[in-house]
Chains A and B, each alone.
Chain A
Amino acid sequence: MALQAYPDVPLFRYPYTDLSLAQIQASLVGPAGSGPAGKRPLDNNLAGKVLTFTGEGGNQLAWTFGAGNRVRFEGKEGGYGSLDLDHLTLFAHVVPGTTKAYAVAWDRLSNAATVFELWFGDGPAPRARELNREVYFGTVAGAGRPKEPHRRTLRVEGRAFLWQEDTGNRTIEYYPSSTYSHWVELDRLKDYRGYSAPTDYVQLTEEVYAVARIEAEFSGLLHLYLADVNRLQQAGLRFGLNGADQLEFYMFRGTGEWLGQIARFEKLGDFSADPLAIPDRKKGERRVYRPLATMDKMSRAEVDALVASGNVHVFDKPSPMAGNGTASSGALAGRQFAIEYDAGPRMEYRFTGPETLEWRKDAKASFCEARYNAWEMMPGAFIFGHLLEGEANHDGHIVVADLDAGLATNFHGYLNTPYFANEAGCETLFGRIVGEGIPNPGSKRHQRTRDMLGRAFTWEYSPGLNSMHLYSTPYTTSWIIPTADGHFATEWSGSGDFVKIRDQLYFGRWQEEACNGTLGTVLINMRTMHDAGIGYHCGKQGGLSMSAVGAPSRHAGKFDVERFFPVRKGK
């Protein structure tokens, strides 16, 4: 694959180059001397100033600014860039001859300051191209003394903004967590997907926050900005290596648009903002979810052997993802019908019991027995799932059948994707149900919906096992994990799809691509605020499985983002 600065494949599929530290250092030489670029002239108005920063731990740093954009730091002279946002200044520079850089947010009135020390290589990031950071809070020597030091904050948790930079780039920034953020680039990336990355949130004033995300697991770039959420102004820095291994080192201004606020779930009055603190942590260390590293990666032969060995589990044990799930239904027992999916296949069903059925695909062979589970989420509207034993890709059908409308939708899961054989792929199939007493819908079908777009729901699967979904784009489901005290923290995301079954009844899915490989599905009843769903997974530990998913829900809210996305088409 040719290198692409902003890939036309999902970022989790892009083979970012494992650059050496020497390669990175070479790319920093020029920018260290020149300072960051900008689409428009930077302010660079610090000439003659000497800023001495004292951190809360007593650490001291000093910058001496000269004419032009020259700065001397640790005895080395290079170029800096700065932008003012009212009485706050953001300046940044690379220390010449090193792989280290700084970005500093300085409140010129109070002299409170936040220093982001940035470095490539030597960890804790596992690859040299992924930027490391350490955040220091303190003061800059001068007349003003801060009443309040800068602090990590959860004050922006739950909000989302569209930021449009002077570069022309527009990004939807969701802040559903106090340690991660979720972003959707609308211009440089073309697929309207959202991605998640570890993020620092620092409150600088009542209105201005520093937001710093490092695109871990992807390019490793830093995207850092001061955001005045009241005036909707932004001043920022982008620093790191893009997909074409080109160093990006530029500052930008931007304007924002408030897109809404979803609920926070910390106890009222709890403003603590470092929920994943690591005792005795190393410099730069934080809890970063690295799903590809922990994912089982199996070959097609390994998957086939696993299935042949009988390591297959279909609703045969309690699922931690459904400890609080909806009770399953045996009401399909005795029913017979066929589902004719548009452009195929035609699936014939005989439900021989509350958990056993017989299926036949395209009338090609005799009926096959399979174990299934079903849930009736509204009267006459069922979700059920089963494996198609003998299919080359170990397919699973997860079907919502509305017997009162004669309509069915299938999240057809399959293995043997081109990436990892045990990773679930999925296509969405729409069809009609043919059977005695079932109305003929004619050409009517279930439709994809934008009703879910921008919504967030919490899910309480089992005691202590909770998450929140954020349906951030028509193509993306993101999930965020709460701490025991209600801070939402680690976040990840994958492909999603969303279908309306009835009013307030929605069928959604997520794929854990390059991340555990699961296909998760949920039929969400917004009247009962409960769901039922099915997970389809293949891994070394659990074999090939179908298992229940289900949890009571809280509607955390809905962001106003529909206008940014085209109507989705295709499977």
Chain B
Amino acid sequence: MTMDPTTSRRNFLKCGAIAAAPLAIATPAAAPADAESRATLARLQDEKAIAALHREVVRQINRGERKLASGLTALAGDPAHDLEIAFAADGQSATCRRACVANFRTEFTGATTLERMHRLQGQGSHEHAEARVLVTEYIKGKEGWAIAGLGFA
């Protein structure tokens, strides 16, 4: 799948702003500009739909409705990073990357000596957080955008 490398949200908005500037002074080119505006609007709508879907996917993971990784107990977007969306050239699919904080719980239920000794000490499980990147694949169908796959990078 070929991805447009300029379509992360920030880059897209920046490009959109640059493209919009000539509109005010270049009326003879109105027809192409309209087409571009429609495309821009469509892309913004796609982004909005994917972002909403992405939030719902994360909620589903946290409710346990989607299995992402063994031992994962909670997933939260890292507020220091935006959702990065890369659309396929045909605009019909997209790959999203989101830096996250993933919380895991490991149960030491095995028969190894170390696990037995950890249990003796009251350390039968362990919780820890990791910085991970959630990668989700979306496809556009008749009903709109839908998730096609997800996993950690």
Contact = CB atoms under 8 A, between A and B. Distances in A.
Interface of A: 276, 287, 289, 291, 294, 296, 320-321, 461-465, 467, 479, 481, 483-484, 489-490, 492, 512, 515-516, 518, 535, 537, 539, 541-542
B2 interface: no
6 contacts: A287-B120, A320-B106, A321-B112, A321-B114, A464-B123, A484-B123
In the A-B complex, the 8 residue pairs with the closest CB atoms: A464-B126, A541-B111, A516-B113, A463-B128, A481-B117, A490-B117, A512-B113, A539-B111
B115 interface: yes
B121 A276 contact: yes
A276 B122 contact: yes
Interface string B77-112: 000000000000000000000000000101010111
A463 B115 CA distance: 12
Given A463-B106, A464-B106, A287 B121 contact: yes
B116 interface: yes
Contacts of B116: 291, 294, 516
Nearest to B123: A484
Given A291-B113, A479-B114, 15 more contacts: A287-B120, A289-B120, A461-B114, A464-B106, A464-B108, A464-B118, A465-B106, A467-B114, A481-B118, A483-B121, A484-B126, A490-B120, A518-B113, A535-B112, A541-B111
Nearest to B110: A320
Contacts of A296: 111
A462 B112 contact: no
Contacts of A515: 113
A462 B71 CA distance: 13
Contacts of A492: 113, 117
Contacts of B111: 296, 516, 539, 541-542
Contacts of A465: 106, 108, 114-115, 118, 126
A320 B120 CA distance: 17
A484 B128 CA distance: 11
A296 B104 CA distance: 30
Interface in B112-153: 112-118, 120-123, 125-128
Contact of B114 (A294, A481, A541, A542): A481
A303 to B, nearest CB: 15
Contacts of B127: 464
B110 to A, nearest CB: 6
Nearest to B126: A464
A489 B125 CA distance: 17
Nearest to B70: A318
Nearest to A540: B111
A467 B118 CA distance: 10
Question: Which residue, of B108, B117, B121, B125, has the highest number of chain A Cβ atoms within 10 A?
Answer: B117
A462 B121 contact: no
Contacts of A321: 112, 114
B106 A483 contact: no
Nearest to A483: B121
A289 B111 CA distance: 14
Nearest to A465: B114
Contacts of B113: 291, 479, 492, 512, 515-516, 518
Given A463-B104, A463-B106, A464-B106, A483 B112 contact: no
A464 B127 CA distance: 8
A537 B111 CA distance: 10
Interface string B24-62: 000000000000000000000000000000000000000
B120 to A, nearest CB: 6
A294 B106 CA distance: 22
A489 B118 CA distance: 10
Given A289-B120, A484-B123, A320 B104 contact: no
B112 A516 contact: yes
Contacts of B112: 320-321, 516, 518, 535, 537
Given A461-B114, A465-B115, A490 B108 contact: no
Contacts of B106: 320, 462-465
B110 A289 contact: no
A150 B121 CA distance: 25
Contacts of A512: 113
A483 B126 CA distance: 11
Contacts of A291: 113, 116
Contacts of B121: 276, 287, 481, 483, 489-490
A289 B120 CA distance: 7
A324 to B, nearest CB: 12
B115 to A, nearest CB: 7
B104 to A, nearest CB: 7
A294 B111 CA distance: 10
A326 to B, nearest CB: 18
A429 to B, nearest CB: 25
A463 B113 CA distance: 16
A479 B113 CA distance: 10
Contacts of B123: 464, 483-484
A291 B113 CA distance: 8
Nearest to B116: A294
A522 to B, nearest CB: 13
Nearest to A287: B120
B114 to A, nearest CB: 6
A254 B47 CA distance: 78
Nearest to A464: B126
A461 B110 CA distance: 14
A515 B114 CA distance: 11
B128 to A, nearest CB: 5
Question: Which residue, of A320, A492, A535, has the highest number of chain B Cβ atoms within 10 A?
Answer: A320
B128 A464 contact: yes
A116 to B, nearest CB: 23
Contacts of B120: 287, 289, 490
Contacts of B104: 463
B145 to A, nearest CB: 34
A11 to B, nearest CB: 18
B74 to A, nearest CB: 15
B126 A463 contact: yes
